[in-house]
């Protein structure tokens, strides 16, 4: 994983395809990821067909890589396979609840990240789309996801055709806590965010958005309270629709 | 990541410690994992102190590796740092809601899995504890996690002192779906679970639990409906307590 230090999100891909054999090999190797009770509470839907990618795009706010990537993968929390298996084996499955969703979502996301680490080690470029939680029922409909299956992560995948700047990260001291959570004082916040705020790209980002601070770009434009509250309600409805909440 | 094919969960560790420098290096490298809006909505609490590990153990059903591992890491969904930053920068953060929890949990789990892949590549052994969702408020209390911080994954970490059998996985055909979700027929369920059910270790598992099928061990003993429903309610209470749900 020496490549990790140079990792960039890749949104532009060459026209070269990813062979089914190679993709299946990577997905198989990623199965070694730990999974709850070894139940593998996840499924992956592979989109290669242009029409299917076109139909997926609106759920991801029409970000262009959804249609331009040779492969789009939707990772799903899946309690359905286990439930069908248990019914067929005289079991009494009780996986239509919130805990089961959370367990399955964790399984799916851990699996997704191992897949991405593997794919990037082989030279593929990926873009993780957090938008999966924003319009889940649109994805459910497009991919025909039945009850007890919920999309939790999407990646676009292809051979890189760009080499963007690497995005900055916070100093590790701001992430780790020894023994107990050491809450952030105003001085610590200033110290931990100083570099991020001073970067020319981020200063420009503030300017073009006509804001006073970088944080305001996030709270007032990108991820606002009103949007977050609206989407929270949508997401809870989707969990009910898929059978994970009463 | 050639080691991944041989991966096993490791629950027994040598007495050799993990240096702070080495652990910090791995946690820093893992920061390259994609994160929503580059906000890094996660924190990690490092437990090395014996007394702290002893206090964490009950939340993980006293599984012995919590106390015997040199290091325990608790990965947390964290909207708090971003919220404090935004308040300090005249922003109006709205991250005390369910979407913000889910986004932060995804960030934390993806980061956790890259960390595990890196650590295992360096020869460390890990055990992922799904029990983190079972008694979250006990963990919250022990680690002094404030509002807008929620534990979502725990790993025990150390140099391996065992080499257990590798656990089986389902055939990749049971995990992947092309273009749309292909629902599981009874024939497919039989085919996909045949190998798992035929393994001597799993047959023995059925026998010692006095059950008729492997699935019944999961539904009647390990992850029962009653437990799942009870824990779902506990988890929702914990999300409210930590400020992620009304």
A107 in a domain, yes or no? yes
pLDDT value of residue A211: 98
pLDDT value of residue B116: 98
d(C-alpha A87, C-alpha A81), whole Å: 10
d(C-alpha A61, C-alpha A131), whole Å: 8
Give me the sign of the Cα torsion angle A85, A88, A91, A95. Answer: positive
Contact call for residues B8 and B166 (beta carbons, < 8 A): yes
Number of Cβ pairs < 8 A linking chain A and chain B: 330
Q: What are the chain B neighbours of A181 within 8 Å (beta carbons)?
A: 43, 45, 76, 143-146, 149
CATH number at residue B11: 3.40.109.10
Q: What are the chain B neighbours of A164 within 8 Å (beta carbons)?
A: none
Per-residue pLDDT, averaged over A56-60, amounts to 98
What is the CA angle A51-A55-A58, rounded to 5?
Answer: 145
B97 in a domain, yes or no? yes
d(C-alpha B75, C-alpha B155), whole Å: 8
B113 in a domain, yes or no? yes
B224 in a domain, yes or no? no
Q: Which of B49, B81, B121 sits opposite A1 (nearest CB)?
A: B121
Q: What are the chain A neighbours of B86 within 8 Å (beta carbons)?
A: 215-216, 218-219
Nearest CA in chain A to B24: A172
A106 in a domain, yes or no? yes
Band (pLDDT 50/70/90 cuts) for residue A69 is very high
Pairing type for strands A176-178 and A42-47 reads unpaired
- For residue A194, give how far its alpha carbon lies from the nearest alpha carbon of chain B (Å): 11
pLDDT value of residue B246: 85
Domain that holds residue B24: 2-165
Is the pLDDT confidence value at A246 over 90? no
Is the pLDDT confidence value at B59 over 90? yes
Contact call for residues B78 and B21 (beta carbons, < 8 A): no
Prediction ipTM score: 0.98
Q: What are the chain B neighbours of A237 within 8 Å (beta carbons)?
A: none
Pairing type for strands A71-78 and A149-158 reads antiparallel
d(C-alpha A151, C-alpha A31), whole Å: 18
Give the model confidence (pLDDT) of B136-149 as tens digits.
999 999 999 999 99
pLDDT value of residue A94: 97
Q: What are the chain B neighbours of A167 within 8 Å (beta carbons)?
A: 38
Nearest CA in chain B to A176: B44
A160 in a domain, yes or no? yes
Is the pLDDT confidence value at B123 over 90? yes
pLDDT value of residue B220: 97
- Total domain count for chain B? 1
A190 in a domain, yes or no? no
Selected residue of B95, B99, B119, B221 to mutate for chain A interface (largest A Cβ count, 10 A): B99
A224 in a domain, yes or no? no
Q: Which of A92, A170, A212 sits opposite B40 (nearest CB)?
A: A170
Band (pLDDT 50/70/90 cuts) for residue B165 is very high
Query: What element of type H or E holds B43?
Result: strand B42-47
């Amino acid at each position: 994983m020496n490549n990790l230090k140079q990792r960039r999100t890749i949104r532009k891909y060459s026209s070269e395809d990813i062979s089914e054999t190679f993709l299946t090999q990577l997905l198989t190797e990623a199965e070694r990821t730990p999974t709850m009770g070894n139940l593998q509470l996840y499924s992956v839907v592979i989109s290669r067909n242009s029409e299917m990618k076109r139909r997926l795009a609106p759920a991801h706010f029409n970000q262009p890589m959804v249609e331009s990537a040779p492969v789009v993968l939707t990772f799903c929390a899946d309690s359905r396979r286990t439930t069908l298996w248990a019914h067929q084996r005289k079991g009494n499955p009780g996986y239509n609840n919130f805990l089961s969703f959370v367990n399955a979502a964790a399984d799916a996301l851990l699996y997704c990240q191992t897949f991405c680490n593997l794919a990037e080690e082989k030279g593929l470029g990926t873009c993780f789309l957090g938008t999966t939680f924003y319009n889940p029922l649109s994805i459910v409909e497009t991919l025909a996801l039945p009850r007890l299956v919920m999309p939790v992560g999407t990646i676009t995948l292809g051979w890189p055709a760009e080499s963007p700047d690497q995005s900055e990260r916070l100093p590790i001291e701001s992430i780790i806590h020894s023994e107990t959570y050491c809450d952030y004082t105003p001085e610590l916040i200033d110290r931990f965010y100083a570099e991020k705020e001073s970067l020319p790209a981020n200063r420009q980002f503030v300017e073009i958005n006509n804001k006073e601070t970088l944080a305001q770009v996030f709270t007032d434009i990108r991820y606002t309270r009103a949007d977050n509250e609206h989407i929270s309600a949508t997401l809870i409805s989707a969990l009910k629709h898929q059978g994970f909440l009463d």
